[in-house]
Structure 1
Amino acid sequence: MKTLTINLPDNLDVEEFEAKMLLAGQLYEKGKVSLGQAADIVGVSKRTFMETMGQFGFSLFNYSVEDLQRELDNI
């Protein structure tokens, strides 16, 4: 796994867990990492990551509207 060092402003009130969740959630939603990889970035289990995603405004399901419509059409 790569190591990334980010310098944040001193006045930014963000905990390490929150910053990791925000980064991992974005990467997951954009399809850059899998659910397991996102959980590893944060340092939690997949289950914990899935349960926490909503608190940060992320969706577990990253279907586009078109993908969802295709799925509904196939039913």
Structure 2
Amino acid sequence: MKTLTINIPNTADIDDKEAKMALASKLYERGRLTLGQAAELAGYSKETFMELLAEYNVSVINYSPEELDEDIDNARRHSL
């Protein structure tokens, strides 16, 4: 695992936990981390991380429209 040290101005009024959550949510949104990896980076369980994503306007479902269409087609083919 990489270690990153950043200097955040005091005027930003952000604590370590919030900075980790902001970074983790953005990396998850961009597809650079899985949900589990992002939750671990932020220091939360997957369930808690998923709940907090809403505060950062990040969707838990991170599929492209094409992937959603493919999943719908697969569900239709395999439904009873």
In our comparison, the structure showing a higher alpha carbon Rg is 2
Distance (whole Å) between structure 1 residues aligned to residue 44 and residue 73 of structure 2? 36
Q: Within 2, Cα distance between the matches of 1:73 and 1:45?
A: 32
Q: Distance in 1 between matches of 2:43 and 2:71?
A: 33
The aligned counterpart of 2:12 is 12
- TM-score (norm. length: structure 1): 0.84
Structure 2 residues not aligned, in runs of 5+ = none
User: Which protein has the bigger helix share?
Assistant: 2
Q: CA RMSD in A?
A: 1.4
Residue 11 of structure 1 aligns to a residue whose secondary structure is helix
Q: Given the two structures, how large is their TM-score scaled by the length of structure 2?
A: 0.79
Aligned residues: 75
